[in-house]
Structure 1
Amino acid sequence: MRREQTVHLERLHTNMLELPWYIQEYIDTKEDTASPSTLLGYVHEYKHFLQWLMAEGIAPYEKLADIPYSILEQLRRKDVENYIKHLSRRKKINSDKDLIQNQKLSNSTILRSVSALKSLFHYLTTMTEDNEGEAYFYRNVMAKVEIKKDKETINARANRMRAKILHNDDDRKLLEFVATEYEKLVARTKKEAYFKRDKERDLAILSLFLGSGMRVGELADLQLEKINVNERIVTIIRKGGKEDSIWITPSALADLQEYLKIRKKRYKVSDDEQAVFLTLHNGSFKPMSVRAIQNMVDKYTKAFNVRLTPHKLRHTFATNFYNKEKDALQVMMQLGHSSTDTTVLYTQLGNATLKESLERLDE
């Protein structure tokens, strides 16, 4: 299990204690098949739903754990529709959980909330057994609620995503910007010392995203013993805990090696520490979290005037890789996709492949 998943598992078990026993039972049945991150997301959705029921007077209890499943059994379709309206009007909360931004929840986020509730109600009304061998209850109000997914073709999705990735040689320019220009922006500020300390590390991280296409969680959990310098291969843990080996570009390996030269001394690392990417906190090293890596990428790309996430850097790699090789199977294997369905997207994310094909019809 990846380090981030271990943290999420601990948080999952802590948060579950606030929920009613029948929801805890449902989560327990899913632990062998769903990731801790997914289940933690479910738990947050259920807590928010029960808190809404309490706030609306539908569940007149002081604690979430005291709400019986009879409350869920008695819910009307109008109650659920009102909850979905509540979600559509709810604003995003920042990572510190205290400042509300001026951005509403996306439709996909609302759909995930509804989907989580549908899964819970399906379990309670079909998979459970009481002392008489009957389901806890049979009236499934969530079965009356349709999930209206966004209708979008691959071309439409590609056009939307095209504006959110790096094109041509902008990936190289981003790395050059961090290596030679960013220091000028933070000169004579408190940020300068931190940048100089972390420069090699940050370049290695950006270079690996752009030179391998790995996910942020895979990069955060990268281990020293899993790096094969001679073969230019790193072994990572994919979603679901599956181990996979991928190649990285020569330039990404070069940046990684530059970081490894200074890693032990710069971050005061113990000999047995295997986590590759580290930070210093109160004078002691600790592995970088997914959130820390995301914030680091945001910092540099914002300064570069593009504002990208690690996932968009992954899209950039995949698009560049496909444009070079024109081989969707290679892209699928490198990214760890289970089918070519997702990979097909990258055939249209680059330099307007379909547009160029149509232009050739007039030649």
Structure 2
Amino acid sequence: MSIQKTNDRKHLDLKLPLMPWFVQQFIDYKRPDLSPSTLLEYIRDYESFFNWLRAEGLSIADSNTGITLLELETLHMESIISYRLHLTTRAESTNSKVTVSRKLSSLRSLFHYLSQIAEDENFYPLLKRNIMAKVEIKRIHKPKDTAAKLKGKILEEEELLEFVGYIYEGYGRDVEGNKQAYYSFQINRERDACIASLILNSGLRVSEVVNLNVDDLDLNNKMLYVYRKGHNDETFKTPVYFREQAKDDLTHYLGLRSSRYKTPKREKALFIALPNGSQEGKRMTKRAMQEMIIKYAKRFGKPYLTVHKLRHSFATDYYLQNDIYKTKEQLGHASTETTEVYAHLTDKTMSEAIERRLES
């Protein structure tokens, strides 16, 4: 099981007893089909909704565990509209349209289960009236819209190689006047360049990179074995290929992984960090990888570039050479609908190619 899944399962097990019995039943129903990460998101969404119900006096329960089916059954449409308004306007933490849509979808899933699937001892639905069935949830992320937001914020063509090269050399020249930054650069540049190169040459998610172990790497065949998002078989790792460029960078990094980071033999992680004051290296965290890419991106002149946009950069480049089905498999998407983003991102390139053909 991946590190992230293990942590999410622990958090899920801690939070679940704080939910009403019927939510616990719903989560158990969903366990075979959904990852601990997704189930934890459900719990957080229900926690937000139940806290709001009690604050508004729509439930008399002292805690979320005491919220009843009758209280959900007698909610008015006005209450759901008020909750949506609360999510979009509350001063301390306004939610994006995507987040609001997800939170309402979580509620719809719960209410659908209670009214259409779960039943009491007399074979009647647990919930006699489903207010969430009346709520229309518009799809927010259309591939074309997502592609439009990514324009100019990813690496294109020669920039993929230039960015890795910048991590190796350029960043050091830019910060050599800052002793602390330059010292950190000298220690970590091979590792950091390797991480960027691996994503730009394979399209791995940052969580997949974090969870990689040395044993997952097959350099000769340019292949990695990863726990892919959406796969609930926790014993199965998916083979993912990477390009030759990443092989060279991985070989370079592996040559110094043990000595430079004081990595103990028991540590299986591929990418290691050595925190200040530590006597031995340990698995690099997701947050550290994200912050690392942002640091280099700003100096490189791409302030909008993030570790996830490195994945988008690879995908756009890969799609130009392959069809949508190969791109879907390489990225580990559940459906081609998600992969359509890259078709829209490459519209301009494809149209230019058509024009060149017509001129020739």
TM-score by length of 1: 0.89
Counterpart for residue 119 of structure 2: 129
**2:257 aligned to 260, 263, 277, which one?**
263
The amino acid that maps onto 1:25 is Q
Equivalent-residue separation in structure 2 for 1:361 and 1:224 (angstroms): 46
Q: Contact (CA 8 Å) 1:12, 1:36: kept in 2 or not?
A: yes
Identity %: 36
Partner residue of 1:105 out of 95, 111, 117? 95
Matching residue of 2:47: 47
Query: How many Å apart are 1:362 and its aligned residue?
Result: 6.3
Q: Relative to structure 1, is the Cα distance of residues 262 and 111 closer, same or farther in structure 2, using a 3 angstrom cutoff?
A: same
Unpaired stretches in structure 2, ≥5 consecutive residues: none
Task: Work out the CA distance in 2 between the residues paired with 1:349 and 1:3.
Answer: 33
Cα deviation, residue 141, structure 1: 0.7
On the 8 A contact 2:217/2:224 being kept in 1, the answer is yes
Which of 157, 167, 174 is the aligned partner of 1:168? Answer: 157
User: Distance between the aligned counterparts of 2:127 and 2:340, measured in 1?
Assistant: 43
For residue 243 of structure 1, the aligned residue among 237, 243, 247 is 237
Alignment deviations for residues 63-107 of structure 1 (CA, whole Å, 9 cap, x no partner): 22222222211111110111011111246xxxxxxxx67xx4221
User: Hey, what does 1:318 align to over in structure 2?
Assistant: 315
Structure 1 residue identity aligned to 2:107: L
Change (3 A) 1:341 1:135: closer
Counterpart-to-counterpart distance in 1, 2:13 and 2:272: 27
Match runs of 1:137-176 below 5 Å: 137-150=127-140, 152=142, 154-176=143-165
Separation of aligned partners in 1, 2:15 and 2:35: 15
C-alpha displacement of 1:150: 3.3
Q: Moved runs in structure 1, 4+ residues, more than 6 A?
A: none
Contact 1:162 1:350 in 2 (8 A): no
Trace 1:28-47 onto structure 2 (pairs within 5 A). Answer: 28-47=28-47
What is aligned with 1:304? 300
Secondary structure at 2:18 match in 1: coil
1:246 Cα shift? 1.9
Equivalent residue, structure 1, for 2:7:
7
Checking the alignment, whether the CA contact within 8 Å between 2:16 and 2:24 is kept in structure 1 is yes
Change (3 A) 1:304 1:34: same
Q: Distance in 2 between matches of 1:189 and 1:127?
A: 63
Report the Cα offset of residue 273 of structure 1. Answer: 2.1
CA-based RMSD of the aligned residues comes to 2.2
2:349 matched residue in structure 1: 353
In the aligned structure 1, how far is the partner of 2:129 from the partner of 2:66? 20
Q: Quick one: distance in 1 between partners of 2:326 and 2:160?
A: 20
- Aligned-residue offset at 1:286: 2.4
**Distance change (3 Å), C-alpha of 1:110 and 1:231:** same
Q: Aligned AA for 1:304? A: F
Structure 1: 5+ residue runs without aligned partners? 92-99
Q: Is the 8 A contact 1:214 1:314 kept in 2?
A: yes
Aligned residues: 351
The structure 1 residue matched to 2:268, chosen from 248, 270, 274, is 274
Structure 2 CA distance for aligned equivalents of residues 74 and 264 of structure 1: 62
SS state at 2:281 partner: strand
Secondary structure in 1 aligned to 2:84?
helix
TM-score between both structures, scaled by the size of structure 2: 0.89
